[in-house]
Amino acid sequence: MKASAIEFRLRMVIMISIVFLGFWSPWIGLFGWGSRRPLLEWLPLELSRMGLLSFTVAAPMVIVLGALLAAIGAVLRVWGAAYLGYGTVHHGQMQAGLVMADGPYRYVRNPLYIGGWFMMVAIDFLMPPTGALFSTILLTVFFLRLILGEEAFLTVQLGEPYRQYLGAVPRLFPRLRGALQAAGHKPHWTIAFLTELNPIGIFIALAFFSWSYDLMLMLKVILISFGASMVVRALMPRVKPETSEA
């Protein structure tokens, strides 16, 4: 079930491929399975057709839901990256340094993966409904494989301190009560904001541009934010990772 080293190294390529297939949804053209209408438009229409909500109520609710999911993704990605550090977050291989128990890592072990999942689900609102379902299922399985692979790696590399951390902090669902005491690591907010421009751009697209229902405009905002984040990461100095996330 756990991801291999090559899957971890190619994780961005794999995620982009899944998202591309979700947008393309070739089964619609080949077999006529589903609608080409983006989920952002399809869902309120279906809620209205079933008599659950009027379209005038359902449409803004769906937009707000998409923006909320994107906001959660952006917050978790920036918050986690600020504490974990650029050198670990975007490294091509699994890293084992010190056990991180600060910031969001006091409450949940995988804020970056959880944030990435919310970010991807927000993008699903721009896909056809069947493409969104396909993308959500495959990305959920892939993220779980990455998490299990990294946890196994860190358990071997870090030993007992990490096993104690596994017992104290949940994997996916945050524990707000009884959270670990802060260890004193300082966050690097500027670097985190710059290197996580993509989830921020997704939030901006869903929160401010989705009201126009201009799919191409929203995709342009997301692609520009993705390109900008790639440029920033390419210019970022390479530093040795000091901490690790599972």
Sorted by where each begins, the domain ranges of the chain are 5-244
pLDDT of residue 242: 46
DSSP string, the chain: -PPPHHHHHTHHHHHHHHHHHHHH-HHHHHH--S--S-HHHHHHHHHHHTTSS-HHHHHHHHHHHHHHHHHHHHHHHHHHHHHH-HHHHT-SS----EEP-SGGGGT-S-HHHHHHHHHHHHHHTTS-HHHHHHHHHHHHHHHHHHHHHHHHHHHHHH-HHHHHHHHHS-SSS---TTPPPP--PPP-HHHHHHHTHHHHHHHHIIIIIGGGT-HHHHHHHHHHHHHHHHHHHHHSPP----EE--
pLDDT of residue 99: 66
Taking the CB of residue 212, how many other CB atoms lie within 10 A of it? 9
pLDDT of residue 112: 94
Topology of the domain comprising 5-244: Four Helix Bundle (Hemerythrin (Met), subunit A) (1.20.120)
pLDDT of residue 177: 75
pLDDT of residue 164: 85
pTM of the model: 0.88
Taking the CB of residue 197, how many other CB atoms lie within 10 A of it? 22
Q: Please tell me the distance from the alpha carbon of residue 161 to that of residue 96, in angstroms, as a whole number.
A: 12
pLDDT of residue 238: 61
pLDDT of residue 178: 65
Say which amino acid occupies 38: P
Q: Tell me the pLDDT of the chain (246 aa) as tens digits.
A: 777 878 888 889 999 999 999 999 999 988 888 899 999 999 999 999 999 999 999 999 999 999 999 999 999 999 999 988 765 555 444 444 566 677 888 899 899 999 999 999 999 999 999 999 999 999 999 999 999 988 888 888 878 888 888 888 898 898 877 667 776 778 889 888 998 999 999 999 999 999 999 999 999 999 999 999 989 888 877 655 444 444
Q: Please tell me the distance from the alpha carbon of residue 187 to that of residue 201, in angstroms, as a whole number.
A: 21
* Closest to 147 measured CA to CA, from 108, 183, 175: 108
pLDDT of residue 100: 67
pLDDT of residue 163: 85
Taking the CB of residue 199, how many other CB atoms lie within 10 A of it? 29
* Closest to 27 measured CA to CA, from 104, 110, 114, 133: 133
